[in-house]
Structure 1
Amino acid sequence: MSKHQQNEEVHPGWIRYNVRKICFPFISIVIFVQDTMALLSAQAIGLFLLSNDPLKVRHLLDATKRAFIVILMTILTIVAPSTIRITTDNKTITPSTFYRDPKKGRICSQLRNNSITICNHQIYTDWILLWWLAYTSTLAGKVYIMLKKSLEKIPVLGYGMKNFNFIFMDRKWASDKGTLDKQLTEIDARARGISKMQKLHDKEIKKADAGVEPYNLILFPEGTVLSENTRNQSLAYAKKVGRSPFKCVLLPHTTGLRFSLQRLKPSLDILYDVTIGYSGVKQDDYGENTYGLKSIFFEGKYPKLVDIYIRSYDIKDIPLDNEEEFIEWIYKVWQEKDLLLENYYKYGCFHQDEKLSTSVVNSFKINPLEFYGALLLPICTLMFVLIIVYMSIF
């Protein structure tokens, strides 16, 4: 084969790779920046105009919260169009909870209104998947996420996340306990429709009561993603406390989860335990190395199949009042999760027995109107730029 023929064979792939490397990050940035700035503007204007009506403020902020996950999902649908397979445990979750709606052409669900979702943590975008699960059940605007306090200081975005009432943790229990107590107490009160005094822009306002407000609290008991460094830290901690280390997950932290369950107990319906597996990731690999942001956006490497296994626990079955019993309970949950993942890496799925579980498979989709709505502003901007360029040339 001549050198010229070799170049002809390699050249098309090289072009596709470089076009993707340039276009996809650019498209993602344009969509994210323009749509996010529009949301932040809506928040700022709404907070100013509706300062005397906290109920309307909350509805506005919930709408922008839902819109934010729509933006992220729109970008991922374009950049990383993965297939999703959701498998539910038949013993704890009704088989019809997740289903593929033929009219909508996407996965929908009937998740319980007031819930906590816990999950293993492999890559930094795990929380988007958990938020999408809430989206399938119309709870996208009622999601609360625990985040590192440093994220609160991100310019512009930090302002928006604070308006979402996300919970920023300092990872020092002495200071985190008060923050968690205040925000969870408020979430629980709203879920039960309890009127109380609240501060808004340093002004005391009587909150108008409009019934209950559901919630879905998302947290990762491991505290961080699985990596070589965090695995070594987990191994050292396991040795220190006399625990057997896990093969596929890190040891869970118990204090924040137990406190959250206790504070939300009056209104809490259920605890969802989610285990996520990614195709292309082996047991000895690290998901963040395989599917990091660079790999997804610049190299076109994304999981072709995302497996999500879900089971649930009734709150009355969780030993919240005894700390030692709770620790043993969560370690048992994580031990079972570790075994689930070990089997997943062997067989490529979480369960083979149809009597034990129910699965639904579909692409990673959101409402088409919301998808195209997220693209509207960037498309209009692009058309405006093209018109200006055309007019300047001709």
Structure 2
Amino acid sequence: MEAELKHRHVGKTNGAPVPAAQMPTKEDVLTEVHPHPSGEIKHSRYVQWFRGVTLVLFLGLSCVAIFLTQLIGSPLYLYDQDMFYAYMALTKQSFALVTMSITQWWGPTVVRISGDTSVAGQIHLTKDGRVEFSFPERIVLVANHQIYTDWLYLWWVGYANSPQMHGYIYIILKESLKHIPILGHGMMFYGFIFMSRKMAVDQPRLAHRLQKLKQEHTAPDGSKYLNPMWLLLFPEGTTVTKNGRSKSAKWSEKTGYKDPEHVLLPRSTGTLFCLRELKGTVDYVYDCTVAYEGIPRGQYGEDYFGLATTYLQGRPPPSVNFYWRRWRVDDIPLEDAAEFDEWLRARWYEKDALMEGYLQTGRFPVLPMTLARKAMSKQPFLWGLLIAARVSFVEVKEGASA
């Protein structure tokens, strides 16, 4: 059997069979056509094993410790639910710090930030050189979905926000993730929302979770308040991959809508449901267009910045690029589903144009200088950041340094 495997022929070169062991891998083909944006593999196989083992140990032990902390605090639900949710928010902060530490130590990258006039005065450099956001405590956050770890970099924004929001982020995930031992159970404690992608099944559980997120609480002085909340949505439903692009193209052909080149056509049903449920408790939808440096035209981020590539091989994205916009919920057409679908699709075509501009120039647009000067009169250290912000995870400790 061993001899048969060694001599099994699975390909041909100029008509001659090529042994399986010599067949190029997917990464070899990509590297030959498009050099990796982060260069050659930085670590040998043995160093990669060491990095993998230490990463798994750090993540595993951290998750176990956090989960045990959650179990200890779980009886609070029967005693005082407000205290229970505040306690779980602290454990969520701990997990966010773990993910940021992993990125800082195993896959450091640079984050570049820009935005339009709608976020003027909300992203700035502090006097000690850190970047700080001042987004509201209750928002719906939507973004395009380039790679599986988009959520990690967006979670960091909550950490860099003032007040810090990394304990109050809620993410909608596919249902299978909740079955991961310890990690899945921990995410259920966090109040993350798991979806089966069948709206008949998902709508009741989604409505239940959203009711929790807009529940009023009573302060000791008798005043009413809502808990902080950042609800993160990826309307595309999946990452931009060859398979995702194919599905988007088929949907485009079926519906007659233009198929964007750099993003997928968004599905509006879930986003519309969330906004309708939360209307009156959320004033703004914040939109982040995410791009990763060095991905060639027609290629996909997942092929270059997978978990092994980023955290084991030492080839994280050279930079993660954010472009921020926001819209008032009251200005979004939520009453008519068809009109909302058209509105959301138009925003995604704008994203596609932003991505095209990024591909051509390597940067998202910045505010015109005339408007920048006007904005700077209100927020003196804002637009210098928007013109040339460089936020390194290497320096992310007590706040993100720029």
Q: Which TM-score band applies after superposition, normalised by the shorter structure?
A: 0.7 to 0.9
* CA deviations over 1:307-360 (Å, ceiling 9, x no partner): 100000011110000111111100100000000001100000011554467413
Q: How does 1:327-346 map to 2 (within 5 A)?
A: 327-346=341-360
Q: Structure 1 residues 268 and 301, CA, compared in 2 at 3 Å: closer, same or farther? A: same
Determine whether 1:45 maps to 2:69.
no
Instruction: Pick one of 152, 156, 170 that aligns with 1:128.
Output: 152
Instruction: Pick one of 24, 27, 30 that aligns with 2:54.
Output: 27
Determine whether 1:101 maps to 2:111.
no
Q: Any conservation in 2 of the 1:106–1:366 contact (CA below 8 Å)? A: no
Shift of 1:60: 1.1
Work out the CA distance in 2 between the residues paired with 1:63 and 1:102.
28
Determine whether 1:116 maps to 2:140.
yes
Name structure 1 gaps, 5 residues minimum: 1-12, 196-207, 372-394
Q: How does 1:249-268 map to 2 (within 5 A)?
A: 249-268=263-282
Q: Any conservation in 2 of the 1:83–1:364 contact (CA below 8 Å)? A: yes
> Which AA in structure 2 matches 1:364?
F
Q: Any conservation in 2 of the 1:271–1:312 contact (CA below 8 Å)? A: yes
Match of 1:298 in 2: 312
The RMSD of aligned alpha carbons is 2.3
Instruction: Pick one of 280, 289, 312 that aligns with 2:326.
Output: 312
Shift of 1:367: 5.8
Shift of 1:142: 0.8
Shift of 1:151: 0.8
How many residue pairs get aligned? The number is 342
Shift of 1:59: 1.3
Q: Structure 1 residues 194 and 240, CA, compared in 2 at 3 Å: closer, same or farther? A: farther
Instruction: Pick one of 190, 205, 209 that aligns with 1:183.
Output: 209
> Which AA in structure 1 matches 2:392?
S
Residue 124 of structure 2 aligns to a residue in which SS?
strand
Q: Any conservation in 1 of the 2:105–2:394 contact (CA below 8 Å)? A: no
Work out the CA distance in 1 between the residues paired with 2:283 and 2:367.
28
Q: Any conservation in 2 of the 1:79–1:297 contact (CA below 8 Å)? A: yes
Work out the CA distance in 2 between the residues paired with 1:106 and 1:279.
22
Match of 1:156 in 2: 182
> Which AA in structure 1 matches 2:125?
R
Q: Any conservation in 2 of the 1:221–1:252 contact (CA below 8 Å)? A: yes
Instruction: Pick one of 131, 135, 142 that aligns with 2:168.
Output: 142
Work out the CA distance in 2 between the residues paired with 1:232 and 1:14.
30
Determine whether 1:222 maps to 2:209.
no
Q: How does 1:31-110 map to 2 (within 5 A)?
A: 31-48=58-75, 51-90=78-117, 92-94=118-120, 96-103=121-128, 105-110=129-134
Q: Any conservation in 2 of the 1:188–1:266 contact (CA below 8 Å)? A: no
Work out the CA distance in 2 between the residues paired with 1:14 and 1:112.
41
* CA deviations over 1:156-211 (Å, ceiling 9, x no partner): 11110000000001100001111111111120124xx369xxxxxxxxxxxx9874
Match of 2:10 in 1: none
Work out the CA distance in 2 between the residues paired with 1:86 and 1:332.
23
* CA deviations over 1:215-257 (Å, ceiling 9, x no partner): 0000100000011111011101110011110100011000000
Residue 368 of structure 1 aligns to a residue in which SS?
coil
Could you tell me the percent identity over the aligned residues?
Answer: 32
Q: Any conservation in 1 of the 2:170–2:229 contact (CA below 8 Å)? A: yes
Match of 1:348 in 2: 362
Shift of 1:101: 2.4
Q: Any conservation in 1 of the 2:160–2:399 contact (CA below 8 Å)? A: no
Larger relative helix fraction: 1
Residue 349 of structure 2 aligns to a residue in which SS?
helix
Residue 89 of structure 2 aligns to a residue in which SS?
helix
Work out the CA distance in 2 between the residues paired with 1:219 and 1:84.
20
Q: Structure 1 residues 20 and 194, CA, compared in 2 at 3 Å: closer, same or farther? A: same
